A and B are shown apart, each in its own frame.
Chain A
């Protein structure tokens, strides 16, 4: 009974490179959420996706960030031309229901930009 899986767990990128973070939801879950936790700050919502659809991206920075959840395969959060301020823990969560369902979190990807 695998939980939410994320990889890589740790990612180091130089400024200007691209970062790709992957998330596989729990079995039976079709709703995926991405959250960012900056050092010493709380979790902040970024984007909510269902298969092949972005439902709510109100928390995503307008530039350099994109997310997808294709019909096959994991959800991907892509950060282009990373900057030091992108260094954070990125958590993915999944739920079974669109509303009123518990969200279960993955172990996170810790991104460090050097």
Chain B
């Protein structure tokens, strides 16, 4: 059975801190890994990673994938209160189309 595990479960930081969120996976026929941000509504797409070692960046957020060690990290620098959310990692795998297997999420709270 495909498995995606995120850590930590929750994190409390102060504005300006840098955080690193972790995602490890065990799946069959890996295709891609996706990061989403969820704030009490629809998960919002952040990144999709398919190749090892290539960093994706968007403003203060960045992410990288290691297909050998089967994990990804999401970094957020200079955190702001608006970054408070649940961050979800999902892996696309298998043969029958791109269903996503989600991790349990990391709940990030950024205090002013």
Residues of A within 8 A of B (CB): 4, 31, 33, 35, 41-45, 48, 55-56, 58-59, 91, 93, 95, 97-108
> What are 13 A-B pairs at a CB distance below 8 A?
A31-B97, A35-B100, A56-B96, A58-B99, A91-B42, A95-B98, A99-B98, A100-B32, A102-B34, A103-B45, A105-B45, A107-B41, A108-B42
A13 to B96, CA, bound (A): 33
How many interface residues does chain B have, given as a range?
20 to 34
Residues of B within 8 A of A (CB): 31-32, 34, 36, 41-45, 48, 50, 88, 90, 92, 96-105
Chain B interface, >50% SS class: strand
Contact flag A55-B42 (CB < 8 Å), given A99-B31, A100-B50: no
- Known A-B contacts: A91-B43, A105-B45. Give 16 more (CB < 8 A): A33-B99, A42-B105, A43-B88, A48-B96, A48-B97, A48-B99, A56-B97, A58-B96, A91-B42, A93-B100, A98-B97, A99-B92, A100-B31, A100-B98, A102-B48, A105-B36
The residue from B31, B97, B100, B105 contacting A55, defined by CB atoms under 8 A apart: B97
Chain A residue nearest in CB terms to B47: A102
Expressed in whole angstroms, the minimum distance between the Cβ of A79 and any Cβ of chain B is 20
A107 to B44, CA, bound (A): 10
Is there an interface contact between B96 and A108, defined as CB atoms closer than 8 Å? no
